[in-house]
Chains A and B, each alone.
Chain A
Amino acid sequence: MDETIEGLLAAIEQGIEKASTTAQLEEVRVAFIGRKGQLTRAMKDLSELSPEERPRQGKRLNQLRQVFDSLYEARHRRLAAEEEDAQLAEERLDMTLPGRSPLPARLHPVTRVTRMLEEVFLRMGFSLATGPEVETVWYNFEALNVAEDHPARAMQDSFFVDLPGYVMRTQTSPMQIRAMEEARGRVPLRIISTGRVYRRDEDATHIPMFTQLEALAIDRHLGLADLKGVLLTLAREIFGASTEIRLRPSYFPFTEPSLEVDISCVVCGGKGCRTCKDGWLEILGSGMVHPVVLRNGGYDPDQVNGFALGLGIERVVMLLYGFDDIRLLYQNDLGVLSGFGDPLAPMGSQGGPLL
């Protein structure tokens, strides 16, 4: 028996050593520890030994089995690794080839910037209202202190429709009156409205259909100073914390005093460049709501004041993304639309308090 065990040890070592594939190694495993393997048989043969001899040989065979297992494991690990390496080498790909890109899409940049502007006002406590694009002449003009012969009607050349008393709204300002009527004299009233408006005008900076944001606030103790605070907040939330504003007296029939609002140039920071010339960019119109307009909305101008502002959203899109032809926005060229990433200026004010 001792010789058999010695012989088995040598045969195991040699067999495992000689196996050059995992398949051959498997044959070796079957030959020794398979059901009819040599080691298995030697184990079975133990029963024929004397009771004295049996424990000693049994122990030796168990040791031999442990040797087999460890040799086998080591050899198998190595052969498997070699075979995987060979297999992977076969599967090599040209990793410079293109794959299929994901195909997500985005909202139109005007929709996105509209939403961004709305959020700024919602955070300041303004609620959003919407209204019709084919508007009555009363809401679009007369209620806003623009009588039929008022030169301001020529300022914004309107599209007329074949329905008596209606016009394509030239501004979102009619929503001022609609919101006031709905509020029935309640204060404070703070609303914004966004939507398409229409004017007979077309060049690199004007298109017949564009998008406006209107804001209106009415309260008992509300002055132009509050408007100034809201304007500065708006400018900084949209264009960044270092943005400054400049207010210039201007004229709109529905506000008095009226102010034209400039922001410090987003390109040069206010030093003066090709985009801005003098460091300032005209961005929106605003003012204190005209007493006639307050009255038309059902408010008493002796009791309350209001401010309003109107902003061309495409203008903000153009400034945020740095291009100067508004028509690009509405050619709906997928190449152009997919080029609009996230706006250049980070949203949100990182600056200190305004006041």
Chain B
Amino acid sequence: MKMSYRWLTRHLPQLPEPAQVAKAFVHLGIEVAAMDPWGLDYQPVQLARVVERRPHPEADHLHLVEIEVGADSRASVVTGAQSGAPGDFVWYGPPGTRLPDGRVLATAEFRGEASAGMLLSAEELGFSHPSDGLWVWAGSDPIGTSLLSVLGGADTVFDLELTPNLAAFDQSAIGLARDLAAYFRMPQPQLPKAFGFGQDALIGMVEGGAPLYSLIVLEVDNTGVSPLWLQTLLAAIGQRAISPLVDVTNFVLWDLGQPLHVFDYDKVSLPIRVRNAEAGEVLVTLDGVERRLSSDDLIIADADRALALAGVMGGQASAVEATTTRVILESAHFDANQIYRTLRRHRIESDAALHFGKGTDAALAFNAPTAVVEHLGSVARARASQRVGEVPSAHKIAWDGDRIRRLLGVPWEDQILLENLEALGFHREAHWILVPSYRPEVQALHDLAEEVLRVYGVDRVPLKMLSGMVFPGHRSLADEHWFRLKTAWAEAGYWEVITSAFSAASREAWLDPDEVEAIAIVNPLRPEEHQLRRGLLTGMLETVAANRSRSDRGLRLYQVAPIFFRQEDRPVEAQQLVVVQTLEEAEVRWPKEPAATIHDLKAALQWVLARVGLAEEFYLGPSPAWPGWAHPGRAIAIWDRQNRRRGIVAELKPSVARWFRSRRLGVVVLNLGDAQTWTFKTAAIQRPNRYPAAVRDLSLILPEPMAYGDLRPWIEEALRSVGANLSVDYWLADRYTTSAHEASITLRFVLQSSTSTLSDKDIVAVLASVVTHLRQKDVKMRQ
């Protein structure tokens, strides 16, 4: 909201300079977004006397005018205006003058005749004046007078940001002045007295949404212009003068905070009624929009039809025109919630709606008309009036200074608390605090505490530090697990990324269709974000594509985040891990990095699971089916201890990888489920074994379709059957394919006892058992 410093001084003549006022605003909780000088562009515009006027030799519609702009100082200008006869005083903009529309005047040539700047009309200067053409000045100011000095000098305009609680009472000059008066300890500004309403039968029925309602029939001469001081104040806050009636109601809105409406008397059939609209009733509002009304909309109507959306916007059919001479001025108090609902329903952000909708001072309904009539002066005369409703008496809050002190944690005596409340216009009466009518939102002690704090200052609150019992803080188990998992992936060389929770059916279409039902976003920012992601994979692969469009470096990315789906009418959120890795030689670079393989990605997963103690929670194994995007020959499933399939490690089909700007991509998808159910196993710490280890290699031939992983249970069984008291570690030492149907592998066994040096007999017994078991499974020994 914009407010002029000069306007504020009308209520507080002793107001300190603008910089101090800005500080006071911040202190009071009113954010000052900007503080700008206003009117400096009017400084160079000078009062000049027309000395001579003659036709332009080359153009019929132009004149050459000689003007006097100071003692012995003259200028020649070309004008198209007919006004400005010799002897007239007119406003002259010399070269360099900036006009409100942004034009900067220069010395220009019009058909061979130079014009040093321009003679100006009121409209060009941003004001309204009854005559067209040049702004002929009727005042007695001397030649050379600056327009700015006639306007009252430069002003400062504050651009203020009001939070909703402040908007209820600070959306006007008087509201802001009340806050400033409290801060600077000046007397509170006063409202004009209530208008002396008559008993004329103008108002019919008034329904609940309008506790106070009044109408005044005015006879007006709306053909003139508003006084310059009023136009200037409106201009400073960005409002353009239109006609006396419009300007004055506008002025009262921003001065006192009371929205007013004016109907054309001759377009209305009295009495006026305030009622809820009938569902489907139609009204064309002032902005030309035909609106279908709801039964929750409060309207102003006459006997025949809806005239206006109460407190929000007038109707076109009853609008005042330039020639109107009889009007009905409406001043009312509406229920803020009702107006706010209508404002939202019809998306009308009119100044009236933004005032009524946030709450207004009930007392204004009957006082504001006094200001209107006063400012219109001789232009208007009241012919009839009526009011309905009584301004409610002051709301009371039981006084409890201790409660305020406890809430704020301050030692301030009652006297300090009360002084600050009284400075804002609150009164103490016995054990009660009387709340002024302009602070309807102040309902309880904590509201009073806030008021004290705003005026007296947060800076004065002492500093304390959580006295009382102290307990150590802790993380939730689940949070600790997620964080360990994330950290382990980073340690393994994978970068954490965070992708958007929003997705679209079209973006996820390449995945297997609709295993779970998505939650839709009713009001997405973009069509491609119309639902919540059901998996992280799409976002992760799009991240790969985005990175690859900028650089061909290898990528190792992961994310642990929730995915969303619906179960009937309830949302389900589940944590998922997705890892993606490019499996191809990265950018041309020496020394060469070998391309990662899907086995490397699988090993990383196993390393991470072991690292965080989940190695026994999940295991890898075959699956009866693979998703459509997975390379069927390069995939392995992730199973949990209850033998539920929880995820996959796989290469993408190259045709799918290409969509994401890659030749080969490996992915891990793991639905983590509920971390609370996990059992963590960490390896026991053991002393170093001082007995020598025996190393033996076994070379085997695996017939198709036997896999390396198939050997593991057989070997484990063989070792168990020997039952020797020794530890056996084994791994794949070498592997090569001998034909398309056979692979030759070498296993290295490392045997060690913790109690003695192993004998050959012990070693042979173990290996013989392994060989026997493997032979039973058709594994051939290589010689």
Interface residues of A (CB under 8 A from B): 97-100, 103-108, 110-111, 115, 118, 121-130, 132-134, 149-152, 154-155, 159-164, 166, 168, 188, 190, 192, 196, 198, 200, 202, 208-209, 217, 219-226, 228-230, 232-233, 247-251, 256-260, 288, 290-291, 305, 329-335, 337-338, 354-355
The answer, yes or no, to whether B689 is at the interface (CB within 8 Å) is: no
Beta-carbon contact of B458 and A100 below 8 Å: no
Interface segment among B3-11, B499-507, B759-767: the answer is: B499-507
Known contacts: A228-B463, A229-B465, A355-B464. The answer to whether A159 contacts B521 by CB under 8 A is: yes
Pick from A106, A128, A160: contact of B476, CB under 8 Å? A128
Beta-carbon contact of A334 and B444 below 8 Å: no
Which residues of chain B (586-632) have a CB below 8 Å from chain A?
Answer: 590-591, 593
Q: Taking the nearest CB of chain B, how far is it from the CB of A297, in angstroms?
A: 16
Pick from B446, B462, B465, B523: contact of A233, CB under 8 Å? B465
Known contacts: A98-B591, A163-B519. The answer to whether A127 contacts B500 by CB under 8 A is: no
**B593 to chain A: which residues have CB within 8 Å?**
100
Known contacts: A151-B357, A188-B469, A209-B500. The answer to whether A127 contacts B464 by CB under 8 A is: no
The answer, yes or no, to whether B472 is at the interface (CB within 8 Å) is: yes
Beta-carbon contact of A249 and B464 below 8 Å: no
Which residues of chain B (495-546) have a CB below 8 Å from chain A?
Answer: 495-502, 519-525, 529, 532, 543, 546
Beta-carbon contact of A162 and B520 below 8 Å: yes
Pick from A133, A163, A291, A338: contact of B562, CB under 8 Å? A133
Beta-carbon contact of B450 and A151 below 8 Å: no
Number of interface residues of B (CB under 8 A): 94
Q: Taking the nearest CB of chain B, how far is it from the CB of A204, in angstroms?
A: 16
Q: Give chain A's interface secondary structure class.
A: mixed
Instruction: Name which residue of chain B comes closest to A229, CB basis.
Output: B465
Known contacts: A221-B406, A223-B409. The answer to whether A166 contacts B550 by CB under 8 A is: no
Which residues of chain B (404-443) have a CB below 8 Å from chain A?
Answer: 405-410
Pick from A152, A225, A259, A334: contact of B463, CB under 8 Å? A225
Pick from A124, A132, A190, A219: contact of B571, CB under 8 Å? A132
Pick from A105, A208, A233, A248: contact of B495, CB under 8 Å? A105
Beta-carbon contact of B458 and A247 below 8 Å: yes
The answer, yes or no, to whether B98 is at the interface (CB within 8 Å) is: no
Name, among A104, A105, A108, A354, the residue most crowded by chain B CB atoms within 10 Å (CB to CB): A105
Beta-carbon contact of B546 and A355 below 8 Å: no
Known contacts: A209-B500, A223-B410. The answer to whether A125 contacts B472 by CB under 8 A is: yes
Pick from A104, A122, A217, A332: contact of B475, CB under 8 Å? A122
**B31 to chain A: which residues have CB within 8 Å?**
248, 260
Beta-carbon contact of A198 and B501 below 8 Å: yes
Beta-carbon contact of B473 and A122 below 8 Å: yes
Q: Taking the nearest CB of chain B, how far is it from the CB of A129, in angstroms?
A: 6
Beta-carbon contact of A334 and B466 below 8 Å: no
Known contacts: A128-B479, A221-B468, A226-B465. The answer to whether A334 contacts B495 by CB under 8 A is: yes
Known contacts: A149-B340, A225-B408, A251-B164. The answer to whether A332 contacts B543 by CB under 8 A is: yes
Q: Taking the nearest CB of chain A, how far is it from the CB of B142, in angstroms?
A: 42
**A104 to chain B: which residues have CB within 8 Å?**
490-491, 493
Pick from A127, A202, A248, A251: contact of B473, CB under 8 Å? A127
Instruction: Name which residue of chain A comes closest to B464, CB basis.
Output: A225
CA distance A290 to B443 in the complex (A): 12
CA distance A149 to B543 in the complex (A): 40
Beta-carbon contact of A151 and B555 below 8 Å: no
**A217 to chain B: which residues have CB within 8 Å?**
466
Beta-carbon contact of B453 and A249 below 8 Å: yes
Name, among B358, B475, B523, the residue most crowded by chain A CB atoms within 10 Å (CB to CB): B475
**B450 to chain A: which residues have CB within 8 Å?**
249, 256-258
Instruction: Name which residue of chain A comes closest to B556, CB basis.
Output: A105
**B573 to chain A: which residues have CB within 8 Å?**
132-134
The answer, yes or no, to whether B327 is at the interface (CB within 8 Å) is: no
